[in-house]
Amino acid sequence: MMELSSQDLIRKLLIDIGENPDREGLEGTPHRVIKSCSELYAGYKINVASLFTIFEDVHGYSQIVICKDIEMFSMCEHHMLPFFGKAHIAYLPDKKVIGISKLARILEAFSRRLQIQERIGEQVTDTLMYYLQPKGAACIIEAVHMCMRMRGVNKQESKMVTSSLKGEFLTDASLRSELFNLLNLNK
């Protein structure tokens, strides 16, 4: 049995949905889809450990560090449809701090894969706890899911909010409340 190339599979999909892959407008689509996938799923190729630029905190900063409203998108692993929104990533330093852009890069490494929203938050906080070893880490994601809006229940105003809290953000209610206040989530 001959194995189909990725482009042949896209052509077959176009035929299966009732399209003509040879018509004007679709002639280059299989190639474009494959090229697009290399961008959409680039997270599989990222070595997360290489993202960490850690600095010893000689001044002993001990307050919450937040990178807020980070735009993000991912692709639902159940329907391969996009979900997108914003993430808030925070940590409570313990002798080390990280370059702030690295928080967004960590999010990108995990979100540019077939995913579920809950797992992205867990992967971000687990990674921070492992490599940075802070007193706590948090990732709150607010996203809209096209699998909820374009198919199934067709709920156009739905938004999913998930949180992953580790360390003192999970165990200290006053610290968690401070974090949520800083993020304007205690409304």
What residues have CB less than 8 Å from 69, skipping those under 6 apart? 86, 88
What residues have CB less than 8 Å from 167, skipping those under 6 apart? 92, 129, 134, 135, 136, 137
| Cα–Cα distances in angstroms (integers) from residue 133 to residues 47, 146, 156, in the given order | 18, 35, 40
Looking at residue 128, its pLDDT comes to 98
Looking at residue 56, its pLDDT comes to 86
CB 139 within 8 A of CB 164: yes
The answer to whether residue 17 scores a pLDDT higher than 90 is yes
pLDDT (mean) for 144-166: 90
pLDDT band at 153 (very low <50, low <70, confident <90, very high): confident
Q: Which residue has the tokens 């494959």?
A: 34
The answer to whether residue 186 scores a pLDDT higher than 70 is no
